[in-house]
Amino acid sequence: MKIITGGVTAAKGFQAAVAAAGIKYKDRTDMAMIVSKVPAVTAGTFTRNVVKAAPVVWDQQMVAQKECAQAVVVNAGIANACTGSEGMGYCKKTAEKVEQVMGISADQVLVASTGVIGMQLPMEKLASGIEHMVPKLSSAIESGHEAACAIMTTDTKSKEVEGKTVTLGGMCKGSGMIHPNMCTMLGFVTTDLAISKELLTEALKEDVKDTYNMVSVDGDTSTNDTVLLLANGMAGNTQITQKDENYQKFVEALNYVNTALAKKMAGDGEGATALFEAKVVHACTKEDARVLAKSVICSSLTKAAIFGHDANWGRILCALGYSGAVFDPEKIELFFQSKSGKIQIYKDGTAADYSEEEATKILSEEEVTVLVDMKKGEEEATAWGCDLTYDYVKINADYRS
C-alpha cells in the first residue's frame, strides 16, 4: 500500500466541483458534486436512527435497487431532515436537475445533506448550484480539496484521505451529532478498482464497524449519517469477484482510508482540543473490545478530564465497568500514552505508582491514547473521540442562530 496525495478525485475518472449556493451560509461554498466518468458500482451504509433524513431514504433505495451510481450532490447548512412530504421532493428534483444539465440518468444520482434539522431546502438555490458546478467538474487534486471544504458545517478542518496504486480516495465531514451507528457524518470514498457490488458492499459493511462506528463526539446518532463508496473500475484490473488476495488488499486499503477519516472526524469534534483514543487489547471477544473502547471515549466525565489534562483513571475504569462487558477489575491494567511518553496508571485493582506531573505532560498533547489491557484474550479494538470543552457547550447552546 502506497500513500499518495489527493482526496475523492485521486482515483481515475472521478471529478469534483463546488458552489457557493447561499443555502444557509452566506460567505462560503456550501455545495459539492462528485461525478464518475462512467457508472460506478456503489455501496452505502446509513444511519440506524429511526428518524431518517430524506436523502438517506433516497440513497438507501437507490443503492439497494441499482448496481451503479454516477453522481453525488451534497449540500451543507440544511439537513433536509424532518421536512415532511417535501423532503423526498428535493432529492428527486436535485437528481432530475443533474439529468437535465449533464445527461446522467436521475436514478444514478445520489444526494446527501447536513445541517439544521427541520428547515426546508431552497430548491432554486440548489438548482442554480448544480448549473454552476457541472461546467467546473475537474479531476484536479484541488477540486477534491474544495469539495471536502464545501461540505463542512461546524467542522473546523476539511477531512480528506488518499489511497494507493489502485487508488482509493475519500472525504468526509462530521463534528457534532456524531455517534455513528452508521453516523451527522457524511463520508464519500471513491476508487477506480473493478469489484463486484456484493464484495464492495460486504467490504464497506465490515469496515465501518471498526472505523466510523468506533467514533463518538457526543453520543448523538444523527438523522443524516451516510457513507457512500463508489468503485468505477477505471483502474483496468480484472474485476474482483471473490475473496482472494486482491480483495484482502482492497479491504486493507479501505480500512486505511476509513480509519484516517474517522480519526480526523473525532479530532475535529465540536469544540475539541484533543483527539482522544481508547485502545483495548487482550479482550475475550472482538465485540467486548469494541464496547469497552467505545464506552471510554463516550464518557462525558472522562472527556472533561482529558480537557483538564487530569489523569483521572477512576472515570475510565468506571466507564469500562458500565460498558456491558464483563471483566474482573482487579486483573486489568491501564496506561496513558502520547508522543510525550507512556505511563502505567492502574494495576492490581488500584492506582499504579506514577508521577502526576508526567501524566499531565502526556495528557497535554493533541492526540492522547488510553491503553486498556484486559489481560484475558486475543481481541482488540480502537475507538476515537475528543475532549469535552467549553466550546462544545458554546457551539451547541446557540447553533441555530
Catalytic annotation, residues: 184
Residue 313 in contact with a second copy, rule: CB under 8 A: yes
Q: Which is nearer to a second copy, 267 or 269 (CB)?
A: 269
> From CA 187, how far away is CA 264, in angstroms rounded?
12
Select from 68, 272, 305, 383 the one that contacts a second copy (CB under 8 A). Answer: 305
Q: Please, what is the minimum distance in Å from the beta carbon of residue 267 to a second copy?
A: 18
> From CA 48, how far away is CA 132, in angstroms rounded?
34
Select from 114, 211, 222, 258 the one that contacts a second copy (CB under 8 A). Answer: 222
Residue 48 in contact with a second copy, rule: CB under 8 A: yes
Residue 354 in contact with a second copy, rule: CB under 8 A: no
Q: What is the DSSP letter of 136?
A: G
Residue 308 in contact with a second copy, rule: CB under 8 A: yes
Select from 8, 69, 81, 109 the one that contacts a second copy (CB under 8 A). Answer: 81
**In which residue are the cell numbers 508522543 written?**
339
> From CA 315, how far away is CA 37, in angstroms rounded?
51
- Of the candidates 266, 281, 318, the one whose C-alpha atom is nearest the C-alpha of residue 296 is 318
Q: Please, what is the minimum distance in Å from the beta carbon of residue 279 to a second copy?
A: 19
Q: Which is nearer to a second copy, 36 or 299 (CB)?
A: 299
Of 147-155, 274-282, 283-291, 315-323: span binding a second copy (CB under 8 A): 315-323
| CA 356 to chain centroid | 34
Q: What is the DSSP letter of 108?
A: G
Set of cell numbers at residue 131 = 448549473
> From CA 397, how far away is CA 391, in angstroms rounded?
10
User: How many residues are recorded in the chain?
Assistant: 401
Q: Which is nearer to a second copy, 243 or 331 (CB)?
A: 331
Bridge partner residues of 115 (DSSP): 77
Asked if 290 contacts 382 with a C-beta cutoff of 8 angstroms, the reply is no
Residue 96 in contact with a second copy, rule: CB under 8 A: no
Select from 61, 239, 248, 300 the one that contacts a second copy (CB under 8 A). Answer: 300
Residue 244 in contact with a second copy, rule: CB under 8 A: no
Q: In one letter, which amino acid is 375?
A: K
Q: Which is nearer to a second copy, 236 or 390 (CB)?
A: 390
Instruction: Identify residues 279-298 at the interface with a second copy (CB under 8 A).
Output: 298
Q: Return the H-helix or E-strand segment holding 110.
A: strand 109-116
Q: Tell me the H-state helices in 6-113.
A: 54-65, 86-102
- Of the candidates 15, 321, 309, 243, the one whose C-alpha atom is nearest the C-alpha of residue 141 is 15
Set of cell numbers at residue 147 = 469539495
Residue 49 in contact with a second copy, rule: CB under 8 A: yes
Q: Which is nearer to a second copy, 221 or 369 (CB)?
A: 221
Of 132-140, 161-169, 261-269, 320-328: span binding a second copy (CB under 8 A): 320-328
Report the interface residues with a second copy, using CB under 8 A: 47-52, 79, 81-85, 116-118, 176-177, 179, 181, 218-223, 298-301, 304-305, 307-308, 310, 312-315, 317-323, 325-327, 329-330, 346, 348-351, 388-390, 392-401
